[in-house]
Structure 1
C-alpha cells in the first residue's frame, strides 16, 4: 500500500510533519482544503530499496484514561535511536530528539519504529 487517507486534524498534520522530517513517510498532503468539514490527509508511505516499509511498528503510549508524562531528563532514545517517540509539549508537537535539544518534557503520544 502506497497511500493512506484519514480525516484531518491539526495534531495529525503536526505528527505527519515530524514523520516526514525523520524519513518515516515520503510526503503528505491535505485534500479538500477549501471545505472545512471534509478535509483529509493523504500520506505517501516510504519504502526501503528492498521494498520493505520504513514504518515497522507504531504504538500509542497515552490514552485519554492513562497519560504518560516524561521530564526532559527522563527522555531516552527509542530503540537505540532507530525509532522516535513523539511528545505533546508546551512548545508544540516534538520528537524525542527535539525535546532533549529544547530541554522540555511532555505527554508521550506515540512511538514509531
Structure 2
C-alpha cells in the first residue's frame, strides 16, 4: 500500500527526467491526470495520455521535455496539509516556476488561482 501516490508520481517524473528518459508510465488516478494537465498547460511536459495496459490496470503515459523540469517539490503531504489564500500564493523562483494548487474549481496553477481569486491546498512546486 502506498501512503502518498502524488509524491510517488513526482519522484518518478524527477527520476525519469534526471535519467534523460523521454517517456514515463505510472499508475493512473484522476488527481494525477489533473496534475499532468497543469504540467502540460504550463509547458513542463510534452504530452500525457491515459491508457489501459490491461482491463484491470490503467496507466498514464507521460512524454517528457528535455531540460524543462529542473526541480519538483511536494509541499502538502498527507500528514501536513498546507493551505493558502489567493493573496498568499507562493512565488516559485521569483515567478519562473509555478505551484500546483487544489481549489474549489479543480487543480490549477497558482497563477490561474491568483487571477481567479481562489485559495486552496498547495500540492507541489515545479521549476
Task: Tell me whether 1:31 sits opposite 2:51 in the alignment.
Answer: yes
Task: Tell me whether 1:111 sits opposite 2:108 in the alignment.
Answer: no
Distance 2:53 2:85 in 1: 36
Q: Within 5 Å, which residues of 2 pair with 1:22-101? A: 22-32=42-52, 35=55, 37-47=56-66, 53-101=67-115
Q: Secondary structure at the match of 2:57?
A: coil
For residue 34 of structure 1, report the CA deviation from its aligned partner: 8.0
1:16-66 Cα shifts (integer Å, max 9, x gaps)? 11101111000011111883x30000100012xxxxx11111100011110
Q: Secondary structure at the match of 1:67?
A: coil
Distance 2:124 2:60 in 1: 18
Gapped runs of 5+ residues in structure 2? 1-20
Residue-pair matches, total = 107
Q: Where does residue 35 of structure 2 map in the other structure?
A: 15
For residue 95 of structure 1, report the CA deviation from its aligned partner: 0.4
TM-score normalized by the length of structure 1: 0.89
Gapped runs of 5+ residues in structure 1? 48-52
TM-score normalized by the length of structure 2: 0.80
